[in-house]
Each structure stands twice: as C-alpha cells, then as structure tokens.
Chain A
C-alpha cells in the first residue's frame, strides 16, 4: 500500500490538472519575453528577406563568382558566356561580351573645348544608347551643366535647362568621369570592386560591387550612377557590342560609371560621346603618344582642370580657344 500510495496521489493530481486547463505560471515576465522573442524572430525574418529575394535572382555560380582580377582565362570565359546567356534570357538580345584589356603603352585622356560646346546634349544621348542605360530613367554617364559666365563653380550651374542653346549669357560644362589618377572613389570602396587600370580607366567589377554607394559619395564630379532598378532596354535597342568592364547590362543595385567606352577605345575606336558631338568640342587620345591631338592641345591651348584643388589629378581637361 505504501508503495502505491504516492503513485495514486500523483495520478489524482494529474487528473486534477487535466481537468483544469488553466495556464499556470504565465507571469508578466514570461509574456514580455515571449513578446520580444516574437518581435525578434519577425525582425530577423524581415532582415534576411532581401537575402531570400537575392537567392531567387542569383544563381549559386553567380554568388560564388570571384573578383575579376582573380579570374583565370577559363573562368572569365565561363562568366562571360553565362552573362551572355542571361542577357538573352532577360532581354531577348544576342550580345557578345568581350574582355577588353588595356593596350600597352596607352594612357587615355579626354579634352573638351568649352568655347565650342553649345550644350545640345547629343553626347548625353549617345552615352545612354551606347552603354545600354535604363530607358525609363534616361540614365547617362554625362551631365551637361549650364553655367553662368564668369564662374567654374559647378554648384552655380543647372542641368535642367532646355529649349534653344546656346543661351547668350551661359556656357556649357559637360561633366563625366574624369578617370582621376588619384581617384577618391577607388580609395573608399570597402570591397575593392573598383580600381584603376594601366591605361588610366577606372573600372568597376559589376558582379563584385555590393552597392554601398561610398564611391558615389566620394566622387567630387558626381560621375557615378547607382542602378536603383533593373535596367529596362528593349531587345532591338540593346547595343550588342559589349565588354565585361564596360557597357554590358549592369545588374540592379550596383554602381556604374563611364569607362571612356573602353569596349570601343581599347579597340582603337573613338568614344561614342565624341562621335556624337556635332560641334567637334570633344577630343580623345593617348597622352603617351607625342604626336597625338591631345598632346598638342595640352601644349598649345588654355587648359582648365575641374576642381584641380582637390588633388584628384583628372585625365580630363577643359580648354578654350
């Protein structure tokens, strides 16, 4: 009897508990804990939701892709063929993505004749088309600033001008990436997704960029652009002549920039903005070539360097007749 007694009493107790489904010991402390735990879990889910989205749009191969400068030739070929297939799938366009490397013994330099530029904006449009920019935002690497005469302060200018140009009391200052020799944008990149190549072009590995936009903030020329959305370009308008570091269609959420059209210039051709200029204000060339146009201009014209005081050492010059 003595051995069974406690057992019986326990059974009796549990029976009593079952018959009374009251939540016991549910203190205020527990409630608060539970509340915060729920909140925390929700916050965690919310925080990782971009990752879940990314997982949908990013393949494992793409996620595991290494930095451009560390890719072997075979890996590069694989990456490029993958990107070509993706462009075909997403945009329905057959494109060739080349891997144009610097030509030995070249340093690209640009010059613009401000006495001649009339602000018509053809360069802006040419850049937009050549570099497969998003059609809905009219994105372009070039910004032409209408400036009051007598100042070189970019803040005094306006990019919203329209109508008939040139206006009598204004001059026009086209600004794009200056391919600085001391590029602040490269210094601030936390993942080394942007760097300066041997021919002076500052490039971005669009698959390595994390989209933090530090470079955009660091650039004193406002030359970098951020892809807020997946670029929309109709298949028939896509420029199929592309390069990995240049005008291939960039992914959403990365920073992009002017590359002096390296997919053209590294093949000996002139940049698209220069060819589009109806006034002949733009000059492009290799500063290491003593007989180049650009050398003659630097030696014979009045030359201005935009924000020279910042010490960025641009490979971009403005000159006057």
Chain B
C-alpha cells in the first residue's frame, strides 16, 4: 500500500510540475507577437509578383493532320503525306456526309457529329486548312474559331474557365495558366466525350466491398452505414 501511495504522490507531483512548466512557457512566449512577420513576408512576395502578369496559354493543334502511308519502303521506312497530296487532284464531293459513302480512303472512320457534310468544316479549295461558315479559310491551329461558330455557349464558358479545364495557376500574377483546346477532349468527328473506367476507389466506411445484396438494394444498404 505505501508503495502505491508513493507512486500516486509521484504522479501528482509530476502533474503539478508540468502544469507549472507549461504556464511558465506560455507567459514567456506571449511577449513576442506571433504570425505578424510571416504575414509581412507574404505581402512583400505578393507585391513583387503583381508587377508581372502571366498569360493564359491555350494549347493549339500542331498543324494540319498528316496521313501515314500504309506500306514501307525496302529500307523499312514509313512516310506521311499532307491532305493536299490527294485532295488537290480530286474533285470535292460537297454532298458527302459520312465515310460509309466513300468508295476509297477514310474507310472505317466513325462520324457522329450532327447532320453536317465533310466540307462544312473541311475546306474544298484548300485541303490543308479548314473552312468557316462564311467560306473563308481558317488554319487547323485555330480550330477553336471553327467550333465556336456553332458552340458559342461552350466557347463563352471556355473563355470564363467554366468549360474545358485548366492547369497551372489561378493567380495570373504568380504564374501562367494552361488550357486545352476543343479537340484535345472532343474528337471533332465523334465529339461526344468518351466513357471512362473508374480506376481508383478509397476503402473507407462508405465503401465496403459490394455484395450481391448490396447491389440489389444499393440505397437501402447505404442508409445503414
């Protein structure tokens, strides 16, 4: 019994000592004001940065597409040609709407972009460029000008960061911002955003391994958690 009593006494003593020590510590530190210097450093840093505004860089396609040739030469090399290689000597069929109605080339190409003809966007007079609705030519690099003719709502959202996503900095005084262009995400011939497969799942309490029972009454099983 006296052994336990002395143990208790020791514990009590330690407690008092630590409380006193903590109090001393705190009173000592209260003298100097905290965080003010950190805040000052941040301000000066901000003022340094605010002088130079960084750009919003919208990625552009590298240029008109190149068509890979099917065969290889005796040295095993492949080659690619420009659209105009073939199209400059062929008559443009302004009525054509899908690859299915073509008898050669572009076979098997999927097309699902409204009820428009190939030459609604491609330029019949200049095969390595695109064509605006008014007939004027526009380079492949500026494809967004073409898309925006019909998709003005998306273009407006894009201009305000509400469509298409971004990378880099929200604060342009501190660094640049990079944005995609339309065809980075949308295949112009099949513009619907593709389906994806979920790869990563947290294993938390809301995420028990799903059993057959769970799947049948998904919501009911969920309420229980």
Q: Which residues does A use to contact B, with CB under 8 Å?
A: 41, 64, 66, 69-73, 75-76, 99, 101-104, 111, 113, 116, 118-122, 124-125, 128, 137-140, 143, 148, 155-166, 222, 225, 265, 267-270, 274-275, 277-286, 293, 296-297, 300-301, 319, 321
Contacts and interface: CB of A to CB of B under 8 A. Distances in A.
Interface in B190-207: 193, 195-204, 206-207
B42 interface: yes
Contacts of B157: 321
Contacts of B167: 270, 275
B31 to A, nearest CB: 9
Contacts of B65: none
B160 interface: yes
B66 interface: no
Contacts of A148: 219
Given A280-B163, A293-B161, A268 B49 contact: yes
Given A70-B34, A120-B196, A268-B175, A279 B203 contact: no
B203 A64 contact: no
A269 B32 contact: no
Contact of A162 (B21, B162, B201, B202): B201
A72 B35 CA distance: 7
Contact of A296 (B29, B160, B196, B203): B160
Given A64-B22, A70-B34, A284-B170, A118 B201 contact: no
Nearest to A111: B162
The 7 closest A-B pairs by CB, nearest first: A280-B165, A268-B174, A293-B161, A268-B171, A125-B200, A296-B160, A120-B196
A82 B50 CA distance: 34
B178 to A, nearest CB: 10
B43 interface: yes
Given A159-B207, A268-B171, A270-B168, A283 B29 contact: no
Contacts of A138: 200-203
Contacts of B35: 69, 73, 101
B29 A41 contact: no
Nearest to A225: B204
A69 B198 contact: no
Contacts of B185: 278-280
Interface string B143-186: 00000000001000100111111111111011101001000010
Contacts of B203: 137-138
B4 interface: yes
Given A104-B46, A157-B222, A301-B162, A125 B174 contact: no
A295 to B, nearest CB: 9
B75 interface: no
Given A139-B202, A269-B168, A293-B162, A41 B4 contact: yes
B216 interface: no
A160 B214 contact: yes
Contact of B195 (A162, A164, A285): A164
B38 interface: yes
Contacts of B4: 41
A69 B198 CA distance: 41
Which of the listed residues A155, A225, A268, A282 has the most CB atoms from chain B within 10 Å of its own CB? A268
B199 A155 contact: no
Interface in B49-76: 49
B46 A143 contact: no
6 contacts: A70-B29, A113-B162, A113-B163, A160-B206, A275-B167, A286-B170
Nearest to B177: A270
B173 A268 contact: yes
